Copies of this chain bind each other. A is one copy, B any other.
Amino acid sequence: MDAKTRIELSLERAMAQIETPKAPPKLAAAMRYAVFPGGARVRPKLCLAVASACGAEDSTAAAAAASIELLHCASLVHDDLPCFDDAATRRGKPSVHSAFGEPLAVLTGDALIVLAFEALAMSLASMPQRLPALLTTLSRSVGMPLGIVAGQGWESEPHADLVAYQRAKTGSLFVAATMAGAAAAGADPESWRLLGERIGEAYQIADDICDVAYSEAELGKPVGQDAALGRPNAAAQLGIGGAVSLLKNLVEQAGESIPVCPGADALRSLVMLETLMVLPKELLQRAA
């Protein structure tokens, strides 16, 4: 079974927990709307790829991957809220609060966070010894003081630590993906932190480039958000060509950081392919 199929099945397994006749129907529908159809599923793919590179293909890795994607979807729903980015569109369709209203969007984010932890606990009921490390990895990547929520929190500070901000907001879930993939395979998570950090930085740059270079129709969500909201943007600072060079450099560093493991070469190729394919071909050629 390919990674994409394993991820979708694992997400469906989690959603089956909440889609019962006793659930409030609109909230259940809003949760499904927030999760399916997904974006590139980059983070859960990375989690599975690391687990596989460490020699594991079992259901623990798929459960961890699904939990990471649920947390990612939750963060997108809350990020889009009127009191944050006030984004009308996401993944080429109306954002959750545009489609279902603000109350259900707040609840959708909350419920997806809870479901991420519940799904993991249920999947690991028969091997609880791996649960503390996985739960700690995931909760740190989304919570305070260094996770996604902390990153969003820096936006309310008059003097934000920009490195901390971007690491927390974009990087932390990539770190969770590589570390959870290793933990699911019984490998040492800590030695996989650097790979997650490098890929996270690369994606931040790629996101900055897209925000400057794409149209809303091409990207499926509002563009020019960084300029509109006064946020730092690498492509605005370095030019698109400079940002693309930086991105390629980071992807190479990511590849070099992969620890010795059975599937290191295959993982290195995958990381380069997945990270660079975010950008349109003409941009990559321009920086070649």
Binding site for B on A (CB under 8 A): 17-20, 22-28, 31, 74, 78, 81, 83-84, 100-104, 106-107, 109-111, 113-115, 117-118, 121-122, 124-125, 128-129, 131-132, 135-136, 139-140, 142-147, 149-150, 152-157, 160, 164
CB distance from A147 to the nearest CB of B (A): 7
**Inter-chain contacts of A140 with B (CB < 8 A):** 118
Q: How far is the CB of A262 from chain B (nearest CB, A)?
A: 27
- Please report the C-alpha to C-alpha distance between residue A139 and residue B18 in the assembled complex, in whole angstroms: 12
Q: Are A83 and B103 in contact (CB under 8 A)?
A: yes
Q: With the chains together, A25 CA to B160 CA distance in Å? A: 10
Please indicate the chain B residues that have their CB under 8 angstroms from the CB of A154 in the complex. Answer: 24
Q: How far is the CA of A121 from the CA of B31 in the complex (A)?
A: 25
Interface of A is mostly: helix
Q: Complex formed: what's the CA distance from A152 to B135 in Å? A: 26
Cα–Cα, bound, A31→B156 (Å): 14
Q: What is the CA–CA distance of A143 and B157 in the complex, to the nearest angstrom?
A: 30
Q: Which residue of B lies closest to A105 (CB)?
A: B83
CB distance from A182 to the nearest CB of B (A): 17
A103-B84, A143-B18, A155-B103 given; A149·B25 CB < 8 A: no
A60 → chain B, closest Cβ, in Å?
Answer: 13
Q: In whole angstroms, how far apart are the Cα atoms of A140 and B24 in the complex?
A: 14
State whether B121 touches A106 (Cβ < 8 A): no
B106 and A150 form a contact (CB under 8 A): no
A26–B143 touching, CB < 8 Å = no
Q: Is the CB of A144 within 8 A of B78?
A: no
Q: Is the CB of A115 within 8 A of B143?
A: yes
Look across to chain B and name the residue whose beta carbon is closest to the beta carbon of A160. B24
Separation in Å of the A281 CB from the closest CB of chain B?
A: 38
Residues of B contacting A152 in the complex (Cβ-Cβ under 8 angstroms): 103, 107
CB-CB under 8 A for A27 and B147, given A113-B110, A122-B136? no
Which residues on the B side are within 8 Å of A131 (C-beta)? 121, 128, 131-132, 135
When distances are taken between beta carbons in the complex, the residues of chain B under 8 Å from A122 are 132, 136
The chain B residue sitting closest to A122, CB to CB, is B136
| Pairwise interchain contact B111-A149, C-beta atoms closer than 8 A | yes
The contact of A156 among B22, B101, B132, B164, by CB within 8 Å, is B101
Apart from A23-B146, A78-B106, A107-B156, what 17 extra A-B contacts exist at CB < 8 Å?
A17-B145, A19-B145, A20-B145, A23-B153, A26-B153, A27-B149, A27-B150, A31-B144, A81-B106, A100-B156, A111-B150, A115-B143, A118-B135, A121-B139, A122-B132, A125-B136, A128-B132
